[in-house]
Structure 1
C-alpha cells in the first residue's frame, strides 16, 4: 500500500511538471505569436532587413528586387487576349517576355510576395473589405496608378528597381529618378490638397461610443489559414529549388519581401509625401539606411564578378521620376504599397494596381517611339566604372549621407516654421480678444 501511494504521488508530480512545462511552452508561443506575427513591425529594422534580403536576392538570382517589369508583362499577356502581338514590341524585346509568370524569376518572386502579404495579413486578422469613401478616390486611384505605372516603366524601374535597389546597384539613372520622384511627389502633394479632392465629412450624432468588437474565433481561424498559406509557399519554393534553383529561390525571397512590407507597412509613397505634408522623415531615413546597408553587399558581389544592373541615365529617368512621384501621391500608393493594401481588402488599391498595369502597358506600346529621344541614345553610367570601384562606393555613400542630412535639415526647418506659424496665430488671437 505504501509503494502504491508513492507511485501515485510520483505520477501526480510528473503530470503537474508536464502541465507546467506545457503551459510555459504555450506562453512562449503566445508571446512570440503576439510580438512577431500579429503586431506591426518597426519600420527601420524591417527596411534594413529588406535591404539585406535584396542584396542576397541579387547575389543568388542575378537580378534585383523589382515588380513593375513583371506587371508590364502581365499587361502584355492581357493585350494578347485582345489580339495584340506584344512579342513584337521593342520594350518586351528589351526586358523579355517569354513564358508565363511561373517560368520567370520576377513572376515567381511576385507570387511569393503576394503569398507573404496574404499570410501576414491573415496572421494579424488584418483583412477586411473596405470600400473607397467617395467616387473621387476611385478616380485618383486609377489615374494616379496609370501615371505612376507609365513613369516607372519609362524610367525602367519603380520605387524598387530605380530607387531602393537601383541606387545600391551604382547606377546613375537611379539618382536621377530619386531626385525627380521627390520633386514629382511635391507637386502631387500640392495637387491632392486642392478642394476638388476634399471629401465632405458627414457628422452623425450618437448617444455613446460604439464598443470595440473582437471575434477571437475568426482571428484564430484566419491565423491558421495564414500559416497554411505560408508553409504552402515555403514547400512550393523548396520543391521548385530542386528543379529550377533560381525560380524556387525567387519565390522564397518574395515570401520574405511580402512579410516585411505588410507587417512593417513599408510604403515609399508615404516616405515622399510625408516630407511635404507632415514634415515626418522617419520612413525616408529608414529607406536611406536600408540602401546604405544594401550597397556594401552589392559591392561585394560585384567584386566577385556579378554584373550590376545599369540603365540609361537619360531624360527618361528624370521624366519617369516626375510622373512616378506625382502619380503615387495622387493614387495614394506605390507599387509595393498597393500590393499589401490590396490583399488587406482595401478596394481603393485594387484600382491603383489596375492603373499601374495599364500605364506600364501603354508605355511598353509606345516605347519604340519614345526610347531613342529619351533613353537608348544616352549612356548607361556605372559609378563603379566612372570613379573606380572604391571611388564609386565612396561617392554612393557620400550621396546617401547628403540625402540623410537633407532629411534632418528639412525636418528641423519644417517644424520650426510650423511652430512659428502657430505662435503667430496664437498671438494674433490673443490680440483680437
Structure 2
C-alpha cells in the first residue's frame, strides 16, 4: 500500500505511528518507547513503512500465531521478488523462497517440520556441545592474548554460522561463502534496498542456489549422518518425502535461522551484561545464572524484532479491521516488553522468574526449531568468554552502531577489552 493512502479512513491509522520509520537511527538503537506508545494508543496500527499492520501486544500476537489459517506464513520472510533485469540469474527464484519451514503453512509445513524436528530435538543438540565448545575456543584463541577485539566480526558473527555449517556437513572450505550468502538474504527484507545492492545480492544468491544443488546432489551420492542426508533419504509411501525445491529451501532456512539471529543474541547478551555490571558480577560468581542471563537478553533485547504474516481473509484484530491479502508484522520485541505480562519490563533483570515467557522464538507451529541450539551456543560462548577474558569491558565509550535491519536488532560493532 503506498503512502498516498494514509488517511484517517484506514482502519488502524495513528497520526504518529502510521508514519513511523523503524530505520531511523534512534529507533534502531531503542525502539521500545515507540512500541510502548503503540501498546497504549494503537496496539494494532497501519504502517506506511511496512505497507501493512503492526501488532504490538502479547496476547494479540499469541492469537495470531495460533491461527495459521487466517494469518499465513507463506511469504513471511518478506517479498521474494527477483528484479526483472536479474531474473535470468534465478529462474527458479531465491533458494530460500520455496515454501518449506518458516514460509509455509500446515499441512505441508507439518510434514517437513516433523522430519526436521528429529535433528533439532534437545537431546540431539545437547550432543553437539563438544563441537560448539571446540569452535568457540578456536575463535577465542585467535585474539585471547591481545587483550582487545572487535567482538562482532571476530566472534559473534562467526560462531553460529560455523556451528550450523558443521551440523549440516558443509565442506569447511565453503563455510565462509555459505555464511555470507545466508547473511545477504536478510538484507533482502529491507523494502528500501537500493537497486544496485539488490542486483549484487541476487548475483550471490544465484551462486548460493548452484551450491545448494551441488551440495544436495553430493549428499544423495555420498550419504552421511547429517540432517540433510536424513531429509534426502526420508520416504513417504516409497516416494521422496521432500521435493528438490523443498530440500534446497529447508537447507537455506537452517543456515539463515541458525546464523543470523544467534549472532545478534551473542552481541546483545554481552552488551546487556556490560551495561549492568552488578549482574555481570553475579554471573561471573555463579555460573548457574548464565542461562537466566540468556533468557532475559532474549526478552529484553530480542535479536528478532518481529516477523511477517499475511492475512487470508478479512479479520478483526484488536478492534482494527484488516483486509484479506494484507501484510501483518508481529512485533516480538514489543510483546516482550508488554506491561501486562512482565513486571518492570524496561528493566534488565536476570533474576526475574518469567523471562522464559518471551516470544523471541515465537510460539505454536512455528516455534523456532533452532531454539535449543541457540541457547546452547549462547551458554557455551558466555562461559568461555568469562573464563578466558577476565575483567571484560568495553574498550571505549564511542556511540554504539546498530545494524540497519528492519526486523532484526543487533550491533554492527562491539569493541571489547580485558585483562591479559
Could you tell me the TM-score, scaled by structure 1's length? 0.27
Greater per-residue helix proportion: 1
- 1 or 2 for the larger relative contact order (CA 8 Å, sep ≥6)? 1
Computing the radius of gyration over CA atoms, which structure comes out larger, 1 or 2? 1
Could you tell me the TM-score, scaled by structure 2's length? 0.28
